[in-house]
Chain A
Amino acid sequence: MKTKMTEGKSVQIIINSTFENSLVKILKKIGVTGYTQLNARGNGNTGVQDGHSDGETNVLFVILLSKPMADTLIDNLQVYRKKGHHILIYAYDAQILDADLIGIE
């Protein structure tokens, strides 16, 4: 029996931790039921992000969602990017097992 996989998107977002609450609110608003969050260290045009203080702590969000929801999420985040927030977004096509468990039909 072949395992059924559903097509979706894996959207990965790197933000400063000060934006975390806003991102979670957006995810709830568009109906995302879960996400994975990791502390992220690195360097870039906002300087070294090493977690020393709240202004220097980056967070990586990994979110699996349907393609239309991924588009909605990216549109929502674009509003903040235009305001000047440093938000790095990239996405992959994903094959998701038991996608209905995370709200993807």
Chain B
Amino acid sequence: MGLDSLLIPAVMFFALGVIAKLIKSDLKFPEGMTKGIGIYLLLAIGLKGGEALAKADFQLAVESIIWAAILGFILPIIGYGLLRFRNKVNTFDAAAIAAHYGSVSAATFLTAVAFLEVSGVSYESYPIVMMVIMESPAIIVGLLIAALARKRLAAEQGGEAVKTEWGPLLHEAFTNGSVVVLLGALVIGAVASPESMAKVTPFTKEIFMGVLCLFLLDMGIEAAKKLDALKKAGWVLISFGVIMPLIGGTIGVFVGATMLEFSLGGTFLLAILSASASYIAVPPAMRYGVPEANPSYYLTLSLGITFPFNVVVGIPLFYQMSIWYIGA
């Protein structure tokens, strides 16, 4: 395996994006283009997942959904515990960062899918459904921790606790664009006739890898932009950005292989989901719901540290770990 995982076009375009930024190239995407590409990628993977899900085992699909919810609640709690160890990070920053690590990164997942497809390894559709489910629970955990912290602070200082506006926050958690597109595409892919799905194949499958290259080129530029902010983040947060994906990925391998009995491809994808950190759905929710936290910390960590770490180290590492654990 070794360097092979890095020699797929999508990953090399990510590196190109980083290099372009480092050499101060004027390369940049038109405003809104990345959002458009992101919607396309989610739509394409959702349709593909839905098509496969229609033929899948119902019981295993339900079990996958339950495990996705469990992971979505447990991972941010582990992350919060790590960040609060010896009070190195304040409660609000810890709650907001932990929420990012309990949720998922679609870009990391799609890069892992590209890696499996280039390697000719098959995978189940369940991890795609799990990606949808895992988007939201961590947001709720982050908001709950912040709400409890506000109550505790108010009790200590003798003031009145700031009330959390749950309505708009829960609405954001469950109706954000990624969830709607992905869930909608899954359903459409599952109910559409095979003949009609064949008509959209050029759009959803054949150009998918090329569009992913564009997306990762932009992600490389954005990740490199965060490098300056790393100095402010400090070694505790930087270490967390590397340690937490290792913990999440290991848990993902265990749940995928032992609890859900996925194949090598499915186990690896669940490991990547558990190792990844959100940078699209969670930042706006934390920005509004936990305004006390510093946004530059969580965005720098998820996009500047964990995303590149997962693309370069996490993908080959969790693939090898899955092979070793399953004994494939």
Contacts and interface: CB of A to CB of B under 8 A. Distances in A.
Asked whether A and B interact, the reply is: yes
Contact of A47 (B229, B291, B292): B229
By DSSP majority rule, is chain B's interface helix, strand, loop, or mixed?
Answer: helix
28 contacts: A16-B287, A18-B284, A18-B287, A18-B288, A21-B168, A22-B168, A22-B288, A45-B294, A46-B295, A47-B229, A47-B295, A47-B299, A47-B300, A48-B229, A51-B31, A52-B34, A53-B280, A53-B284, A53-B299, A54-B280, A54-B287, A82-B162, A83-B162, A83-B291, A84-B290, A84-B291, A85-B288, A85-B291
Interface string B6-35: 000000000000000000000000010010
Interface in B281-305: 283-288, 290-292, 294-296, 299-300
Contact of B283 (A22, A51, A56, A80): A56
Contact of A19 (B222, B229, B288): B288
B147 to A, nearest CB: 12
Interface in A23-54: 45-48, 50-54
Interface string B255-284: 000000000000000000000000110011
A103 interface: no
Contacts of B162: 82-83
Interface residues of B, number: 24
| Across the A-B interface, the 7 shortest Cβ-Cβ residue pairs | A55-B283, A47-B296, A84-B291, A84-B292, A54-B284, A18-B288, A85-B291
A16 B290 CA distance: 13
Nearest to B150: A83
B225 interface: yes
Contact of A46 (B92, B225, B296): B296
B30 to A, nearest CB: 11
A55 B292 contact: no
B297 to A, nearest CB: 9
Nearest to B177: A54
Contacts of A22: 168, 288
B264 to A, nearest CB: 33
Contacts of A54: 280, 283-284, 287
A17 B32 CA distance: 14
Contacts of B299: 47, 53, 55-56
Contacts of B284: 17-18, 53-55
Contacts of A86: 291
B176 to A, nearest CB: 9
Interface string B288-328: 10111011100110000000000000000000000000000
A76 to B, nearest CB: 15
Contacts of A50: 225
Contacts of B92: 84
Nearest to B280: A53
Interface string A67-98: 00000000000001011111000000000000
Contacts of B290: 84
B82 to A, nearest CB: 22
Given A19-B287, A54-B280, A55-B295, 5 more contacts: A16-B287, A18-B287, A45-B296, A47-B229, A84-B292
Contacts of B31: 51
A46 B294 contact: yes
Nearest to B228: A48
A38 to B, nearest CB: 13
Contact of A55 (B168, B229, B287): B287
A104 B2 CA distance: 70
Contacts of B292: 83-84
A22 B31 CA distance: 24
Nearest to A83: B162
Interface string B218-259: 000010010001000000000000000000000000000000
